[in-house]
Amino acid sequence: MSGGASSAIAARGGAQRPMWWLILPALVLLVCFLVLPYVSIVVMSFREASTRAVYGDGFTLEHYTSVIADPFIWGIVWRTLRTGLIVTVVTLLLGYPVAYHLARTRSRWASVLYIFVISPLLVGLVVRTFAWLIILSNGGVANNALKWAGLIDRPIQLLNTPVGVTIGLIHVFLPFVILPLLGNLQAINPEVAMAGRSLGASRMKTFFRVTLPLSMPGIQAGSILVFVLSISAYVTPAMLGGSQGRTMAVLVVQYLVDSFRWPAGAALAIFMAAITLSVIAVYLRLTARAMRRLP
């Protein structure tokens, strides 16, 4: 190759060198407000408890061993994960048809439906949860409706139970599964599903063999989002859960704010983060298998 050509390539390479300093502001923000606090929480979780300061001088593993040895905490871990799982599955089942319809419809009502979909995000979290408080109470709309329909004679306890928390979370997080799915489904060529039908497959068969596999990225993104948000949610379980519906996030706040057990609360928070990360790691591996054939 001639020198002229290679120097031209070098010049072009130079012009396209990534401008790394553009990420500097985001990097500073990330380090100051995410990495540093996390590091300080990790450090705090290994400190001895103290009655006079936030934590004592020595280092200990005691907080972790007591968290891991405590069946009460494992009970709450299990309840939190179960709630997260139920919320994720239910929002997927409820959200998929809505996203599918929105992706395919040519109706002029589509934008109205879209606003309905994001409506849970338009009202403040506390206000919205108060509404659920009213609906789910023993004399509330939900129980009255069930009684009127003849399904129950006495009010069933919804408030201050995991059921109430689950209902509240499903409502809040429905948009988080619909929006990624909508983007995914809109990107799928509608003629692909038509091709399935023309080859003799029913609507159902075409859906399960063509549309559903192609929408796996949207399902993955939406479900991870909802799962993570559900198990780390604080306001909804704190207001609707009572002590029966207490989740890990509520427990951590009780440790920190109510009983001032900062190092133990920090250990609990790290424990919770570790469990969340491992669940997501397993889930990513499983879904990656389902998506390995996608472009």
Which residues inside 211-230 make contact with other proteins, applying CB under 8 A?
A: 213-214
186 binds other proteins, rule: CB under 8 A: no
CB 222 within 8 A of CB 137: no
Closest separation in Å from C-beta 193 to other proteins: 8
CB 146 within 8 A of CB 138: no
Token pair for 95: 């959200």
Near other proteins by CB under 8 A: residue from 36, 192, 282, 288: 192
- Taking the least distance from each CB to other proteins, the nearer of 153 and 191 is 191
Near other proteins by CB under 8 A: residue from 7, 65, 119, 202: 202
Near other proteins by CB under 8 A: residue from 3, 14, 18, 295: 295
Torsion of CA 47, 252, 87, 69, to 10 degrees: 60
- Taking the least distance from each CB to other proteins, the nearer of 82 and 205 is 205
Which residues inside 92-151 make contact with other proteins, applying CB under 8 A?
A: none
CB 111 within 8 A of CB 193: no
Which residues inside 234-293 make contact with other proteins, applying CB under 8 A?
A: 293
Report how far residue 73's alpha carbon sits from residue 250's, in angstroms, rounded to the nearest whole number: 12
Closest separation in Å from C-beta 188 to other proteins: 9
Q: Near other proteins by CB under 8 A, which window of 39-47, 73-81, 188-196, 220-228?
A: 188-196
CA distances from 15 to 2, 18, 22, 209 (A): 21, 9, 15, 46
Torsion of CA 210, 216, 165, 277, to 10 degrees: 160
Cβ atoms within 10 Å of 107's Cβ, excluding its own: 11
Closest separation in Å from C-beta 99 to other proteins: 19
Closest separation in Å from C-beta 227 to other proteins: 24
Return the percent helix, strand and coil in the chain, to nearest 5: 75, 0, 25
The residues of the shown chain that bind other proteins, judged by CB under 8 A, are 189, 191-192, 194-203, 205, 209-210, 213-214, 293-295
